[in-house]
Structure 1
Amino acid sequence: MSAEIFKYLCVGFYAVLTLWLSWIGMRKTKDIKGFSIGNKDMSPWVIGVTMAASISSTATFVINPGFVYVHGLSAFIHYAVAGTAGIMSAFLLLTRRFRQLGDANGAITIPDWVYQRYQSRSLSVFFALINLLSIAFVVLILVGCSLLLSQLFPISQTWSLTLILLFVFSYVLMGGSYAHAYTNTLQGVMMIGVALFLFIQGWYHFGGDVMGSLQSIGENYARVFNPDSNLYYDFFSVFLSGFVITFALMMQPHILTKMLYLKDDGDVNRFLWTTFLAGACFMLMLAIGFYAQLKGLQVERQDAVVVSYIAAEFSAYDWGPYVLVFISITLLAAGMSTLDGILVSLSAMVVKDLYQPFAGAEFKSGSGLRLSRWVLVGVGAMAYLVALNPPALVGLFAQKGVYGLVAASVVPILLGTLSRKAPSVVVAWGAAASGLLAHIVGLFVFEIANPAVAATYAIAISALFALFFTVLNSLKNKNKSDSFEFISSPVEKTR
């Protein structure tokens, strides 16, 4: 069988299998709740792989190795070490309690969870609006996937973009969260296999001396803090911002809502182990940035490093074209695994948290399901228009938008999850608004180059705001209590 025929057969098989899994999901999707978080009947193993695939996606498999290619060891540590620590900390701290609160109140989206916890419709609407910043990440994924598809087939990037958009939106429209989970399980298994294969196969580039090989590229390239880098140059930019921002990124709607898929606390540990192990495998893809440098590749466009590497690495072998086909399809699947999750969460959020509160008693779950599908079409059109002419560094573009979202989200969600009683709405509002504003000021007024650094400062400001007003409220309540005791004491004596 020729490599060309093999390519079309593999792509066709993947497309048919994905649509079949979506059709199974569609049969289980009867209303907006089933579309958003399912019916609590998914295996924790499935949800764990789905979660890991949603986190990793095009950013880990296509975009972030480009940062390692340019900035070296400092970028690898930023994403693989500090980032992984942030992910694990967030899940261990939040999963059980967040799921319990969401399950008790019947929440199906993050803004809905915020409303149930804080009993503030205005805060819920604010969260729904800022979550629309996730569209920036949709653009990143579409651009990354279109690069891969145009490399795989002799078609333009515009046509690649169009085909990917139509394919992903078609299967998400069918099955919602079930289509997302079932297809992500398939995609996640493929991603694990390819990540392990590429990491092990390319290890020979180090020649048995990892640090020596990296130092041959450049002395600063092999440093934990790279003085030549404008992004990863000190402890704050490499470690602290990597940990804080990755922890905060777990507050994204397409990630945090996975915890609401779980049926009960008995599923939590299996879910966490599956997520951590699959995620560790995915992080191995970052080494492709090193391999591309050691291979001597000159890649002008940072976002194209992975595509260029796999084409150069396997083109010389007789079996290379066959492997290249499977790897390319898997990299496409990596992007789609996050894209479909974002689309499900965005469409459900617009309906549940922006439309439904103002629809009144006439709103019906069936109409909500139909409307959520129409919202998908609108989101796709917006993202498509931006992706046709994307920014030069689409990775930084996506980070600026998404990091603004998490800078506003992390403190209110942490307070709501970890507090026994519902925290003050004023504190939550102030923390959210100050986090978003500080991120914008850091990027566009102080011109901080690394969005993770700007977002870390913003989260710190948000936390300080929340702490200050929490202490202030506590002192006010204490003063009121003291005043009451002072006034009531003489009454007791009179009696």
Structure 2
Amino acid sequence: MSEAIQPSPVPFYTVLVIYLGIMAFIGWYASRKTKSLGDFFVLSGKAGVLVSGIAYFSTQFSMGTFLGTPGTIFGVGYAGMAISVPGAVFCMILPALLIGRKLVTLGHEYGFLTMADYLTDRYHSRSMSGVLGVMMLFFLIPMMGAQIIGAGVIVHVFTGLPEWVGVVGMGIIVILYCMSGGMKGAMMTDVIQGSLMMGTAVITFIVSVKMGGGFHNINSTLQSMNESYLTFPGANGYMPWAYYVSNIVLWSFFTMGQPHLFTKFFTMKDHKTMFKAILLGTGGMFLSATLIEWAGVNGIASIQNIEKADQIVPMILQRGLNPFLASLFIAGIVAAGMSTIDGILVTTTGAVTRDIYQKIVNKKATDDSVMKLSKVVTILIGLVVILFGVFQPGSIFEINLFAFSGMAVFVVPILFGMYWKRSTAWGAIASVAVGVAALLSFTLVPQLKELAHGFHALFPATILGAVTMVIVSRLTQAPPQETIDRHFKLLKKVSAR
């Protein structure tokens, strides 16, 4: 018989209403300070260390980090902590070293607001805007849907209400503050949400250790239950070396292909701000990921016969704290989903209004008209995300991984665009097409999956995409020399500093 969570609706509603009310107020306040398209999409490149560091890691972390991953680890043991902890250490460092410093400079020099702004300018092709815009709609709407599904799960667990209530409620709040305040509203709320996430990770870990009777007792219990909980590759051989390496690379190197994280570099004030933000953000990510995932391991020793593994963190908090404190830190999990949705929602809105509408459909559209359209598009995309969350086509982890992997193929045109002058627009577009096709093939076709030898499908997909980039670029016309000079001469100055 499963150990069901007993709903605590009054404390939960009280805390959640206050929390969501604060988020809505911030959106209203941000709207009063949002005066231009640059403010709406990238805060006009004025974000400081605290906002930049916390906003980056809070956007990177999601419902998967606080629900799906601990739930997976609950069935694996210590080896499961390799799912994201090593990647959390490098997921801000590697992008900053490889592309971050250059993006800060390019963004300030040429007024780039989105990933498509950079790719379109670098490859001297408006087609890049269309390709990226379509890809973002296809992959990022599911990513937002995964977060909103988590909100539904939490509301159902703590109140007994249907999951769609949580899905709709969270969706409406996020739409409101993103529609009104854009990136300013998103990043201001990210600071609160990121801080709350760290607090949730710390408290959940402490409570889990106390519930388990201390580290020695927890480890003794795990050993008596199943020794594989204490060793690699974990229970059921979940974490073989190839999958371990895949997770480190997936959650660190491939974050460069995520538009909502890529755009964060355009918001940063300068290079010094970026490097300080890296230290702050990396510390926050490592601390939060380590403790919340470790709590999933500790929970094995104290909570058995759980109904759904994704409930492990809510159960630890509810059993170890009074209802109001438990609800407060449960709001930290809601914050993880909201902070991911808001960054993606603003970025996806930019893909539709700037990358597709202003650059392809109506090239004469003014910034003011795009600003107004952005608010409407934010509502429409938000409604689609809510419907996605209501119908729930898959698990949080599966949807999140699918979306992240799909956008990750843009690592190839981004890196080649910065480091190889000969790369062309057709090469970039072909690399994305081949990368997505290979990703789906190596995921869905058993024979091809075996050829990956246990590595994630994104690995062979990226290799094939890179090879395609080189071949097609060699066969097609390079961008004008003026375009190459605009990018590489400026980047050469950056590298020399």
Structures share fold, TM-score greater than 0.5: yes
Mapped to 2, the partners of 1:310 and 1:327 lie a distance apart of 8
Match for residue 435 of structure 2?
435
1:240 aligns with 2:246: yes
Displacement, 1:214? Answer: 3.9
1:411 aligns with 2:417: no
Normalised by the length of structure 2, the TM-score is 0.86
Residue pair 2:200, 2:330 contacting (<8 A) in 1 also: no
- What do the CA deviations read for 1:434-465 (whole angstroms, capped 9, x no partner)? 21111010122238599971122212322343
- How many residues were matched structurally? 463
Displacement, 1:75? Answer: 2.3
Residue pair 1:32, 1:348 contacting (<8 A) in 2 also: no
SS at match of 1:17: helix
Candidates 160, 166, 172, aligned match of 1:160: 166
- What do the CA deviations read for 1:243-291 (whole angstroms, capped 9, x no partner)? 2353213421111101100122231212111211111222121122212
Q: What amino acid sits opposite 2:431 in the alignment?
A: A
Mapped to 2, the partners of 1:436 and 1:206 lie a distance apart of 48
Q: For residues 316-355 of structure 1, what are the structure 2 equivalents within 5 Å?
A: 320-355=322-357
Residue pair 1:435, 1:462 contacting (<8 A) in 2 also: yes
1:53 aligns with 2:51: no
Residue pair 1:192, 1:282 contacting (<8 A) in 2 also: yes
Displacement, 1:28? Answer: 1.9
Q: What amino acid sits opposite 1:393 in the alignment?
A: S
Q: What amino acid sits opposite 1:215 in the alignment?
A: Q
Candidates 174, 197, 202, aligned match of 1:196: 202
SS at match of 1:428: helix
Match for residue 310 of structure 1?
317
Displacement, 1:396? Answer: 0.9
Residue 7 and residue 392 in structure 1: after superposition, are their counterparts in 2 closer, same or farther (change >3 A)?
A: closer
SS at match of 1:228: helix
Displacement, 1:4? Answer: 7.0
- What do the CA deviations read for 1:40-71 (whole angstroms, capped 9, x no partner)? 23222111111111111212112211111123
Residue 417 and residue 213 in structure 1: after superposition, are their counterparts in 2 closer, same or farther (change >3 A)?
A: farther
Match for residue 228 of structure 1?
236
- What do the CA deviations read for 1:125-167 (whole angstroms, capped 9, x no partner)? 1112112211111111001012112333353211121111111
1:461 aligns with 2:467: no
Displacement, 1:347? Answer: 0.5
Question: What are the ranges of 5 or more consecutive residues in structure 1 without an aligned counterpart?
Answer: 315-319, 475-495
- What do the CA deviations read for 1:159-209 (whole angstroms, capped 9, x no partner)? 121111111111111101010011111111111122112223322437334
Runs of 4 or more, structure 1, over 6 Å off, are: 449-452, 470-474
Residue pair 1:61, 1:285 contacting (<8 A) in 2 also: yes
Q: What amino acid sits opposite 1:426 in the alignment?
A: W
Displacement, 1:399? Answer: 1.1
Mapped to 2, the partners of 1:53 and 1:422 lie a distance apart of 36
Mapped to 2, the partners of 1:411 and 1:396 lie a distance apart of 23
Residue 236 and residue 211 in structure 1: after superposition, are their counterparts in 2 closer, same or farther (change >3 A)?
A: farther
SS at match of 2:306: coil
Residue 471 and residue 294 in structure 1: after superposition, are their counterparts in 2 closer, same or farther (change >3 A)?
A: farther
Mapped to 1, the partners of 2:360 and 2:472 lie a distance apart of 31
Match for residue 300 of structure 2?
293
Match for residue 78 of structure 1?
83
SS at match of 2:45: coil
Displacement, 1:471? Answer: 7.7
SS at match of 1:51: helix
Match for residue 98 of structure 1?
103
Residue 215 and residue 412 in structure 1: after superposition, are their counterparts in 2 closer, same or farther (change >3 A)?
A: farther
Q: For residues 33-52 of structure 1, what are the structure 2 equivalents within 5 Å?
A: 33-52=38-57
1:380 aligns with 2:385: no
Match for residue 122 of structure 1?
127
Candidates 231, 253, 272, aligned match of 1:266: 272
Displacement, 1:365? Answer: 1.4
Mapped to 2, the partners of 1:71 and 1:157 lie a distance apart of 27
Residue pair 2:358, 2:364 contacting (<8 A) in 1 also: no
Mapped to 1, the partners of 2:213 and 2:423 lie a distance apart of 52
Displacement, 1:226? Answer: 3.8
1:14 aligns with 2:19: yes
- What do the CA deviations read for 1:341-387 (whole angstroms, capped 9, x no partner)? 11110011110011112344541212211211211222122222222
Mapped to 1, the partners of 2:22 and 2:108 lie a distance apart of 32
Residue pair 1:237, 1:452 contacting (<8 A) in 2 also: yes
